[in-house]
Amino acid sequence: MNFADRLCAAVDRCGTPAVLGLDPRPEHLPAPWRRRPGEAGAGEIAECIRAWQMRLLELAAPRLPMVKPQAAFYERWGPPGMEALAEACARARELGMLVLLDGKRGDIGSTAAAYADAWLRGDGFPAADALTVNPYLGEDACRPFLDRARECGAGLFFLVKTSNPGAGLFQDHGEPPLAEAVACAVHRWGEELQGESGWSGAGAVIGATRPGELARFRELLPRALLLLPGFGFQGGTAEGLAPAFDARGHGAVVPASRSLLHAHEREDLAGRGWEEAFLAAVEEMVAALRTVCPLPSS
């Protein structure tokens, strides 16, 4: 089944476009799994991450349609960390969540094909439902990802206008700006991954920290699913995100990691267990997004 169609169905099931960003920082894990890098080895840290994320995913699965593991926070811990990443992907899918592997892969020719095979085929790692891709090497570097996504029914989210403060140095360069040129290419590629829902599995990353630019990118990407990172800890809010969604509440998903994963560190949630704090933060995010995304409550 086409990724865009599966994502729309998952969003409808949960009644929210909120996505769990899985960025495990061992020094911020709840007790008893918290560890400080340098005071514990990679194997011990990876084991703590594995134990914590199993329960986290059980809490998230009934409430959120997709999880977005950030590969770097697992790669840091070597082979044990990569095993933890594989377990996170497998367990999330067992629980009914879609998996968006946030690796921002991009390279030339056969190397790009190897990245696509690694994360979308399921030969070694559990297959992800979608992958973030860096398109700035050009169309030939994106072609292997598009071909594999079409074969596997997977999705792609191409970096177009990212959430970091310095993104404009290159992405705003030129006339039209480079980011807009990339958006036009993503729109063209998206015809290959069109779903019955009307949305394409070739999506785009547009920072939620850039609400003033969102309407323009929606104009350039009328059928692309948008991934809107930067909500919460990076300063993004629900305000201004309405142009990303259609009248049915489809068209975009909004990930959050630190604002959800570190909720047990909030002063206003002090005294609650980490599970209760996490669920409270999820409910806050869901409620905030409901003001701009017209989805019925699940």
Both tokens of 183, joined, read 């958006």
Non-local (6+) Cβ contacts of 186 within 8 A are 135, 158, 160, 202, 203, 204, 221, 224
Q: How far apart are CA 255 and CA 102, in angstroms?
A: 11
Of 123, 212, 154, whose CA–CA distance to 133 is shortest? 154
Query: How far apart are the C-alpha atoms of 142 and 132, rounded to whole Å?
Result: 11
Rounded Cα–Cα distance for residues 252 and 153 (Å): 18
User: Phi and psi for 33 in degrees, rounded to 5?
Assistant: -95, -5
Give the number of residues written for the chain: 298
Euclidean distance between CA atoms 120 and 286, whole angstroms? 29
Interior/surface letters 17-27, b for 16+ CB within 10 angstroms, e for the rest: bbbbbbbbebe
Cis peptide before 65 (omega within 30 of 0): no
Is the preceding peptide bond at 176 cis, omega within 30 degrees of 0? yes
Catalytic residue (one of 25, 34, 76, 104): 104
Q: Is 68 tagged catalytic? A: no
Give the residue numbers annotated as catalytic, written as ranges: 104
